[in-house]
Amino acid sequence: MANRLAAETSPYLQQHAENPVDWYPWGPEALERARREDRPILLSIGYSACHWCHVMAHESFEDPAVAQVMNRLFVNVKVDREERPDLDQIYQSAHQMLAQRPGGWPLTMFLTPDGAPFFGGTYFPKQGRYGMPAFADLCERIAELWHERRADIGAQNEQVLQAFARTVPRAAAQPAELSPDVVRAMLDNLRANFDAALGGFGRAPKFPHPADLELSLRGGEKDMALVTLERMCEGGIYDQLGGGFCRYSVDAHWAIPHFEKMLYDNGPLLGLLADAWLVARAGLYARCAAETAAWLMREMQSPEGGYYSSLDADSEHEEGKFYVWGRDDVRSLLTADEYRAFARRYGLEGPPNFEGRHWHLRVAASLEPGDVALIEAARRKLFAAREKRVRPGRDEKVLVSWNALAIRGMAHAAQVFQQPEWLRSARRALDFIRGQMWRDGRLLATYKDGRAHLNAYLDDYAFLIAAQLELVQAEFSRADLEFATELADVLLAEFEDREAGGFYFTGTSHERLFHRPKPGQDQAMPAGNAIAAWSLGRLAALTGEARYARAAERTAALFYPQMRDYPAGWATMTIALTEQLAPPKLVVLRGRGEELVRWRDELAREYLPDTMVIALPDGMPGLPATLDKPRRAEAVNGWLCRGVMCLEPMSDLIQLKTACKEKS
CA-wise closest residue to 270 among 310, 217, 207, 210: 210
> Given this model, what pLDDT does residue 131 score?
84
CA-wise closest residue to 106 among 81, 132, 136: 81
Q: Do domains 4-167 and 175-313+395-581 have the same CATH topology?
A: no
Phi then psi for residue 406, to 5 deg, are -70, -40
d(C-alpha 119, C-alpha 310), whole Å: 30
CA-wise closest residue to 305 among 441, 202, 396: 396
| 502 touches 520 (CB < 8 A) | yes
Burial 497-520 (b: 16+ CB within 10 A, else e): beeebbbbbbbeebeebbbbbbbb
Residues in the chain with pLDDT values less than 50: none
Sign of CA dihedral 317, 323, 326, 328: positive
> Given this model, what pLDDT does residue 227 score?
98
Looking at the whole model, is its pTM more than 0.75? yes
In CATH, the number for domain 4-167 is: 3.40.30.10
> Given this model, what pLDDT does residue 342 score?
98
> Given this model, what pLDDT does residue 108 score?
98
73-111: per-residue pLDDT in tens?
A: 999 999 999 999 999 999 999 999 999 999 999 999 999
Give start and end residues of each alpha helix (H) in 197-280: 210-218, 222-234, 263-280
| 77 touches 45 (CB < 8 A) | no
d(C-alpha 643, C-alpha 97), whole Å: 43
> Given this model, what pLDDT does residue 206 score?
97
> Given this model, what pLDDT does residue 170 score?
85
> Given this model, what pLDDT does residue 565 score?
96
Domain 175-313+395-581, what fold? Answer: Glycosyltransferase (1.50.10)
Beta strand ranges found along 493-649 (DSSP E): 585-591, 611-617, 636-642, 645-646
Cα angle vertex 56, ends 52, 57, to 5°? 115
> Given this model, what pLDDT does residue 185 score?
98
> Given this model, what pLDDT does residue 275 score?
98
> Given this model, what pLDDT does residue 664 score?
62
Domain chopping of the chain, boundaries: 4-167, 175-313+395-581, 323-388, 585-661
224-268: per-residue pLDDT in tens?
A: 999 999 999 999 999 999 999 999 999 999 999 999 999 999 999
